[in-house]
Structure 1
Amino acid sequence: MSVGHTEVTDPAALSCAEDCGVRDVQDRLGDKWTVHVVVELSSGVRRFRELQRLVPGISQRMLTLTLRRLERDGLVTRTVHPTVPPQVEYELTATGYSMTRLIRALVDWSLDHRGIIAESRRAYDERREARP
């Protein structure tokens, strides 16, 4: 490995601001529900219950936490309409929308490579099982 390459990937070479910022974003995108919620919101404004129906398996608590985190990060806006009962709507911000092209690229890559990955897993498992 070249010295230049080591310097770029060496964790000590990153300042805390750079490292913490990257980790925060990776943590947000890497959690179980964020990508699903962002994908559903990319189609437009959604109410809470609508999102809950569109994201199979998510609990009310996890949807609430995910939306709060996305709102805190400036990726989602929350609008409360003064009705009885109150209607709450969620929408991606411009920053949130800018993230959707990256998510789309990841989804496309996953679809393009799922066969290769499945075959690699099968071959790996067979090799592991064949060991004495």
Structure 2
Amino acid sequence: MCYVLSVPTAKEPASVNHGDIFFVVSQRPGQNISYEPQAMMGYALKEGSKVNVTIDAKNFVMFVKDSSAWVENAAEEPALVAAMKGGTNMTVKATSARGTGTNYTYSLSGISAALKQIENCK
């Protein structure tokens, strides 16, 4: 497995303990998975809620399980990765199991070069 991982440049609200927050794009050739985006939170997400990812004017919806989220429509995964390559900032909005709305900002600077590094993952 090979992956690109990023941490947010901003976390809101500032008054809560977010734990470790990551956005990951992974390659798992043995499982026939390429460029799979995943949001990983440091807390449990609200069951049945959605995580919304916005890059420029493009929106992507992720389903949640425990403390992670994946693109709801797997066919949109390449579009999300392409938007990440072409964008400058990404926001991720989620709801914790306690009902707290959270918002994370990520810089997309360097994402194309990073994804190129995992292109030939074997």
Higher strand share: 2
Higher helix share: 1
Larger Rg: 1
The TM-score by the shorter chain falls in which range?
under 0.3
Larger RCO: 1 or 2 (CA < 8 Å, sep 6+):
2
Q: Normalising by the residue count of structure 1, what TM-score does the alignment of the two structures yield?
A: 0.24
